[in-house]
């Protein structure tokens, strides 16, 4: 299996309004390091998994729609608990929607919320 990883980051604000989340149920900020790992069993006709520049551009574009936003005020997240796992899936779905014509394989999105905690979502594109 071949893989290419590109990295970016986002800064968001949100709350997780459920007692389960303790202090995180209140409004707080988060800076996520976001890795997008593109995996393929075979290289394409250009001998790459994906064009790294295209992967970086699409990741940056998808994250740009979230960066510096209060997710509690965004209509697409109304009634949702915007956990790290949820956001990994959300970012995956947005990238997959853009890249489904130019990339076939597995895509794994990992959000690092601190130096000791990460969450990921992985699925085929």
CA-to-CA dists, residue 115 to 29, 32, 35, 118, angstroms? 16, 10, 14, 8
Which domains occur in the chain, in start order? 1-10+33-42+80-125 (3.30.479.10)
Selection from 42, 36, 41 nearest residue 122 by Cα:
36
pTM over the 0.95 mark: yes
- Model confidence over 97-123: pLDDT tens digits? 999 989 999 999 999 999 999 999 999
pLDDT tens digits for range 49-70: 999 999 999 999 999 999 999 9
Place of tokens 């895509």: 107
Give me the pLDDT at residue 59, please.
98
Question: And the tokens for 88?
Answer: 């990994």
């Amino acid at each position: 299996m071949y893989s290419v990883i590109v990295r970016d980051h986002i800064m968001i604000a949100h709350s997780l309004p459920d007692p389960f989340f303790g202090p995180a149920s209140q409004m707080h900020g988060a800076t996520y390091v976001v890795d997008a790992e593109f995996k393929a069993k075979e290289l394409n006709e250009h001998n790459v998994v994906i064009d790294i520049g295209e992967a970086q551009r699409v990741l940056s574009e998808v994250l740009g729609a979230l960066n510096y936003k209060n997710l509690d005020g965004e209509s697409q997240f109304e009634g949702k608990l915007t956990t790290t796992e949820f956001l990994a899936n959300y970012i995956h779905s947005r990238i997959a929607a853009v890249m489904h014509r130019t990339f076939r394989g597995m895509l794994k999105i990992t959000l690092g919320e601190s130096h000791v905690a990460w969450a990921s979502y992985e699925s085929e594109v």
